[in-house]
Structure 1
Amino acid sequence: MEIKKSAVAGTVESSDIMVTVAPNQEEKIVIELDSSVEKQYGQQIRDLITETLNRLGVTAAKVTAIDKGALDCTIQARTLTAVHRASEVTAYDWKEIDSWNA
């Protein structure tokens, strides 16, 4: 999936995460994370964002995530939404996405 523009999903409220996805001309994924639980879960959050991008076929993106203690399902949902907005996709295959966690 090609990232065409910058897009945001989520909030900076407690138990949420704000994910911003933007194009990256360097043809790689770059993740910048600011998290209130960085020491305990920072690598897990980065891994989940990376895994979600890989499953969507994203190979080049700049991701900025501001985490306030979000659960994995919320991190994944915010990343999915931001990527779909940034790639200007209007049709989703929710059955495929739902099977990721099965």
Structure 2
Amino acid sequence: MKITKVAKAGTLESNDILIMVKPNEFGKTELELESIVMQQFGEVIEQVILHKVQEMGIEGISIKAQDKGALDYTIAARVETAISRAI
């Protein structure tokens, strides 16, 4: 499945994450992550985001994530919402 427009979900408040998605014309998945806990949890955050994208069967997506200490279930929910809005 491919997304057709730009969409976002979440906020920049503490303990939340802002996810912005847009179509990637090269047909691959790209992720740009900024996080206040990058050194401790950066890899886990990336895995949660990419797992949700794969679970939803999405191809050709660019994701920008700005994390402010969100928990895994919040990250997954924000990714799912942003993708749903972009389809």
Q: TM-score, normalised by structure 1?
A: 0.84
Q: Does 1:21 align with 2:47?
A: no
**5+ residue gaps, structure 2:** none
Q: How many residues align?
A: 87
Q: Does 1:34 align with 2:34?
A: yes
Distance 1:67 1:6 in 2: 19
Partner of 2:62, secondary structure, is: strand
Match of 2:78 in 1: 78
Q: TM-score, normalised by structure 2?
A: 0.98
Question: Partner letter of residue 78 of structure 2?
Answer: R
Distance 1:43 1:58 in 2: 20
1:74: how far off? 0.2
Superposed, 1:1-102 pairs within 5 Å as: 1-87=1-87
Name the one with the larger strand percent. Answer: 2
| Larger RCO, structure (CA 8 Å, separation 6 or more) | 2
Distance 1:23 1:80 in 2: 15
Distance 1:63 1:5 in 2: 12
Moved over 4 A (4+): none
1:62: how far off? 0.3
For the aligned residue pairs, the C-alpha RMSD in angstroms reads 0.5
**5+ residue gaps, structure 1:** 88-102
1:59: how far off? 1.4
Distance 1:15 1:7 in 2: 21
